[in-house]
Amino acid sequence: MDTMMRDAVISFPMLGDLAINPPAGFTLFGRTIYYYGVITALAVLLAVIFAAKRAPRFGLTADELYELALWILPIAIIGCRIYYVACEWDRYKDNLIDIVKIWEGGIGMYGGIIAGSLTAVIWCKVKKIPFGAALDNLGTSLILGQVIGRWANFINREAFGYETEIFCRMGLTKPGAQTVYVHPTFLYESLWSLLGFILLYVWINKGKRKYDGQAFIMYVGWYGAARAMIEGLRTDSLYFLGTGIRTSQLVGILSLVISVALLIYNSKRKHPEMYVNRIKNESAAEVTTATAE
């Protein structure tokens, strides 16, 4: 079975006779623009704007967040590509020029998360900002981007799962072919991310965050749980070094285990003052000093 069916009609039996066939893209100035890229760009843009708006809650300014995003985005894209190429090395080793043809498809989300996180850590070191505070902000925004971004897979008719008769199955009907019913794994992950976003948003707004980095650890664990469960259903998984082990499922399991271990460990130790509180206290002290003078 093909892992991408851009020309297939989409249906969901649970919604009755509803069937749609959205175009995969449109033509602009003689070039085809795919909605996959448009939706992905929109997801990134909204995530960055949301992060900038929420930045003060973590002790950062919107300008600092935008500067950080300008560093993270290109490096994260490179990380996504490296992750994919590493897992599909047999496909690229004899055609190295194809490695740079990212417009032909082929990225791995975990590569972007790892590369982006490392970039944030280095940026924070240079700016003398606790990286845990920045990562907390990014994690809660990244999961929002994933809620939206997974719908790019829907438009592309890709990242779906094995054939199934489950009640929420998705039908794909290619011209002149029978309908194939599959797991809508993109939908599973989008809904899981939406639930995670709501929980993190409410949890942070209620002041439950006790130390910098806590929210990011929770995000990593939540996303890891999703990949650990959902990746096994997909038909387009990347495999680890040519083995039968699904790379993202393995990374997801490790992420979940490490995150839980860190949360338990950190619950039993004292932490320095959160960056946002330190900034507030320093600002209050400056106001008091200025008033006294």
Q: Let me know: does 172 contact 180? Beta carbons within 8 Å.
A: yes
Average pLDDT of the residues of the chain? 92
pLDDT at 292: 62
Confidence of residue 277 (pLDDT cuts 50, 70, 90): very high
Each residue's pLDDT tens digit, 151-168: 999 998 988 999 999 999
Task: Assess whether pLDDT exceeds 70 at residue 268.
Answer: yes
Is residue 22 a part of any domain in this protein? yes
pLDDT at 4: 74
Span of 2-11, 49-58, 158-167, 212-221 with lowest mean pLDDT: 2-11
Going by their DSSP bridges, the two strands 25-28 and 31-34 should be labelled as: antiparallel
pLDDT at 144: 96
Mean pLDDT of 69-73: 95
Mean pLDDT of 103-128: 89
Task: Assess whether pLDDT exceeds 70 at residue 291.
Answer: no
Confidence of residue 284 (pLDDT cuts 50, 70, 90): confident
Confidence of residue 88 (pLDDT cuts 50, 70, 90): confident
Is residue 1 a part of any domain in this protein? no
Helix H or strand E encompassing 19: strand 19-20
From residue 70, alpha-carbon distances to 74, 119, 293 in Å are 7, 11, 40
Which one has a higher pLDDT value, 107 or 193? 193
Is residue 4 a part of any domain in this protein? no
Q: Is 92 exposed, middle or buried (0-12, 13-18, 19+ CB in 10 A)?
A: middle
Mean pLDDT of 24-37: 87
Mean pLDDT of 23-43: 89
CB within 8 A of 267, min separation 6: which ones?
Answer: none
Confidence of residue 98 (pLDDT cuts 50, 70, 90): confident
* Domain carrying residue 130: 9-292
CB within 8 A of 195, min separation 6: which ones?
Answer: none
Q: Let me know: does 40 contact 134? Beta carbons within 8 Å.
A: no
DSSP result, 79-99: HHHHHHHHHTHHHHTT-GGGG
Is residue 3 a part of any domain in this protein? no
* Other beta carbons less than 10 A from residue 57's beta carbon: 16
CA atoms of 254 and 224, how far apart (whole Å) = 8
As a whole-number percent, the residues of the chain with pLDDT over 90 amount to 71
pLDDT at 287: 63
Domain count across the chain: 1
Q: Let me know: does 223 contact 256? Beta carbons within 8 Å.
A: no
Is residue 198 a part of any domain in this protein? yes
pLDDT at 16: 92
Q: H helices then E strands: how many in the chain?
A: 10, 6
Confidence of residue 65 (pLDDT cuts 50, 70, 90): very high
Task: Assess whether pLDDT exceeds 80 at residue 260.
Answer: yes
Two structure tokens written together for 86: 């590493």
Two structure tokens written together for 171: 């039908």
Task: Assess whether pLDDT exceeds 90 at residue 39.
Answer: yes
Closest CA to 100 of 112, 115, 74, 82: 82
Q: Is 217 exposed, middle or buried (0-12, 13-18, 19+ CB in 10 A)?
A: buried
pLDDT at 255: 96
As a whole-number percent, the residues of the chain with pLDDT over 70 amount to 96
Task: Assess whether pLDDT exceeds 70 at residue 293.
Answer: no
Span of 48-62, 98-112, 167-181, 223-237 with lowest mean pLDDT: 98-112
CA atoms of 213 and 209, how far apart (whole Å) = 9
